[in-house]
Structure 1
Amino acid sequence: MNNPLKMSLPLKPNTIRPARKNRVLRSASLKVRTLQMLWHGMGFAFAALWIIPFVWVARTAFLPKESAITSGWFQGWTFDNLINVWHAAPFGQYFLNTLLVCGVVLAVQFVTLTMAAYAFARVRFAGRDLIFLLFLVQIMVPPDILIFSNYQVLNEMGLLDTKLAIMLPYFASSFGIFLLRQSFKQLPYELEEAACVEGASRLHILSRIYVPLSRPVYVSFAIVSVSFHWNDFLWPLIVTNSDSNRLLTVGLAMFAKSTESGAQWSDVSAATLIVAAPLMVGFLLFQRQVIGSFMHSGIKG
């Protein structure tokens, strides 16, 4: 015979709490997974918006001219468009000019940025903070505002239509100085004091201590500088008139506006792919180094 007192006892609370905890954990994990799926979906949507035009350009560059505007994607791919475009305009000269401008500007910027950043970070002199504030003000000034004044200065110096005219306004960078100064200030000052005790000069300290320890910042700035000058269009267009001094972006615009290739989508797409391919290939080959340099070059206070 069953005991009525035993049957009327309520369930123990210890048997209820684990079930509630499991339901709460399952609902929390479902929310996390839903948010992750939403974020991933947004990321893929933005990636598609960016990559669809590039895929269309790449597809059109390798299709015959009569099939460029059709809906087919695999209708006899050919390299004739790239070959014809390369010989129709002096893209080889444009490539050399662009590589020369990007390389020389970056090399000079490394020198000027290193000297200025070290002076603002470690050297005490009168008016240091005020001068540094003026450098920060330059970051807020768009470069296009200074086009007219820079053009007048270069015209008086007789440097128009030269590669030096393209490079000269960019030999110093206020953003690079700010970025490198913050990196130098994060390094322990005891390293410099120990080197001074050993009799090292400032240049020796700068080249053996500060520059190697700030390598991620240099890589990050190099990526930004090369990308900017590779894609720069307005300033090289204004100060150059001859093919011997034009850059890739200006050469591409001149080629696209020409009467022979204005309505030829295959030729224009092939020329665009020639200009954009080096940066794309470089990023794909060194994407780990690129991402790592930006992750390790964060700015702290």
Structure 2
Amino acid sequence: MLSKITPKIGNLLMLALAAVWFVPLVWMTVTAFRPRQAALSGFFSLDFTLDNFATVWSAAPFATYYINTIIIVVCVFAVQMLTASMAAFAFARVSFAFSGVVFLLFLVQIMIPADVLIFPNYNVLKQLTLLDTKLGIMLPYLASAFGIFLLRQVFKTIPGELEEAALIEGCNKWQVLWKIYFPLARPTYVAFALVSISYQWNNFLWPLIVTNSVENRPLTVGLSIFAQSFEIGVQWTEVSAATLLVITPLLLIFLVFQRQFIDSFMHSGIK
């Protein structure tokens, strides 16, 4: 009897936690579409408008913020995929001295919070004259210890006979990586893409520190400046509309590809 009750309690607890997370999202979405006076009143009405989004779009250069964010997210993930694939292949299939020690050093990086490295990274960018540039935002994230660990674990499960057969057929190491390991690890790449894209899309503190111009600000920094601007003040309808503009792409991606995301994490061994 107890074994039947326990799963129900767990399900109810998960539903309660989901509701706690979902309520602010619903409130923000409803507020973004309501007129200012109706949103600030304590009564619900059927008055909805798109004027808040028009005001937001004209009050701040969100188009530029979108372009900057997309460039940063795409470039960081593309370079991460290349560097993580090569490093993971080396750790999984190439024998070299002190490989275990070097791999442990990579794992240590996972335990170091990114915020701890802000000051030394800032000094490096200052010496390279890369402050207030898109490359300066991307540079600390072009290699991912988490991606290397994730892909190494998957590469080690791929039978070595496939690589030996490819080498006999005349393939070099690059061809083995891209024709055998990359296709077989595709679910893991999808899982890693979710982690990388969501992190870079929501990254705030580092871009806030290293950028000063509109031409290089991502969406998160632009939203913060917009919400704190003198013209906007505490106008929650405009702030909610701007926030919805920022998070909508990630929500749409998750809703469209949620099954692929879940399957990718399951195949990757992430619990």
Partner of 2:147: 176
- The structural deviation recorded for 1:74 is 3.1
Asked if structure 2 preserves the Cα contact closer than 8 Å seen for 1:85 and 1:270, the reply is yes
Partner deviation per Cα, 1:129-167 (whole Å, 9 max, x = no partner): 111111011111111111100100110111100000000
2:195 matched residue in structure 1? 224
Give a deviation string over 1:1-59, Cα, whole Å, max 9, x none: xxxxxxxxxxxxxxxxxxxxxxxxxxx4xx44433331221111001100000111001
Q: Does 1:119 align with 2:68?
A: no
| 1:205 correspondence with 2:166 | no
2:34 corresponds in structure 1 to 63
Bigger Cα Rg: 1
What CA distance in whole angstroms lies between the structure 2 residues aligned with 1:174 and 1:73? Answer: 49
* Structure 1: gaps (5+ residues): 1-27
1:241 is paired with a residue of what secondary structure? coil
Pick from 74, 80, 83 the counterpart of residue 54 of structure 2: 83
Residue 162 of structure 1 aligns with which residue?
A: 133
8 Å Cα contact 2:66-2:219 kept in structure 1: yes
Kindly provide the amino acid, as one letter, of the partner of residue 69 in structure 1: L
Of 9, 12, 35 in structure 2, the residue corresponding to residue 41 of structure 1 is 12
Instruction: Report sequence identity in percent.
Output: 56
Do residues 254 (structure 1) and 254 (structure 2) align?
Answer: no
2: CA distance, partners of 1:164 / 1:181: 27
Report the Cα offset of residue 126 of structure 1.
1.4
Q: Would the aligned equivalents of 2:38 and 2:45 in 1 still touch at CA under 8 Å?
A: no
State whether residues 67 and 75 of structure 1, in contact with CA within 8 Å, keep that contact through their aligned partners in structure 2: no
> Structure 2: which 5+ runs fail to align?
none
1:262 maps to a residue whose letter is G
Partner of 2:123: 152
Letter in 2 for 1:149: P
Instruction: Give the aligned residue type for 2:102.
Output: I
Letter in 1 for 2:168: V
Residue 51 of structure 1: which of 17, 22, 43 is its match? 22
Q: 1:252 aligns to what SS in structure 2?
A: helix
Query: 1:282 corresponds to which residue?
Result: 253
Q: CA deviation at 1:75?
A: 3.4
Match of 1:293 among 258, 264, 271: 264
Residues of 2 paired with 1:37 and 1:277: CA distance? 33
TM-score scaled by length of structure 2: 0.97
Could you tell me how far apart the structure 2 residues matched to 1:283 and 1:37 are?
27
Instruction: Judge conservation of contact 2:65–2:218 (CA < 8 Å) in 1.
Output: yes
Whole-angstrom distance in 2 between the partners of 1:299 and 1:119: 22
* 1:273 to 2:241 alignment: no
Across the aligned residues of Structure 1 and Structure 2, the Cα RMSD in angstroms comes to 1.3
Q: 1:193 aligns with which of 146, 164, 172?
A: 164
